[in-house]
Amino acid sequence: MELPWYRTAKGRNVLLTGGLLALALLFSLVAPSLAFWAYAAATLIGVWPLVLKALASTRLGEPFTINTLISVAAIGAIAIGEAAEGALVVFLFAVGELLENIAAGRARAGIQALAALAPKTALLLDGGQTREVPVEQLQVGQLVRVPPGGRVPADGTITEGHSNLDDSPVTGESVPVHKGAGDTVYAGSINTDGVLTVRVDRGASDNTIARIIHLVEEAESAKAPTARFIDRFSRWYTPAAMLIALLFAVLPRCCSVSRGTNGSTRASRCC
- Residue, of 68 and 221, whose pLDDT is higher: 68
Quote helix, strand, coil % in the chain, to nearest 5: 55, 20, 25
Domain 121-206 belongs to what topology? Answer: 2.70.150
Is the pLDDT assigned to residue 191 strictly greater than 90? Answer: yes
pTM beyond cutoff 0.95? no
- Cβ contact 140:200 at 8 Å: yes
pLDDT at 72: 87
Q: Quick one: what percent of the chain has pLDDT higher than 90? A: 25
- Residue, of 52 and 249, whose pLDDT is higher: 52
CA–CA dist 61, 91 (Å, integer): 27
How is the chain split into domains, by residue range?
5-114, 121-206
Express each pLDDT in 58-102 by its tens digit: 898 888 888 888 888 899 889 888 889 999 999 998 898 888 888
Is the pLDDT assigned to residue 160 strictly greater than 90? Answer: yes
The mean per-residue pLDDT over the stretch 256-262 comes to 50
Express each pLDDT in 112-159 by its tens digit: 777 787 888 999 998 878 899 999 999 999 999 999 999 999 999 999
pLDDT at 255: 46
Is the pLDDT assigned to residue 267 strictly greater than 50? Answer: no
Q: Quick one: what percent of the chain has pLDDT higher than 70? A: 86
**Per-residue CA distances from 98 to 10, 64, 70 (Å):** 6, 22, 16
CA–CA dist 240, 219 (Å, integer): 32
pLDDT at 252: 57
pLDDT at 182: 93
The mean per-residue pLDDT over the stretch 15-27 comes to 87
Cα Rg, the chain, nearest whole Å: 31
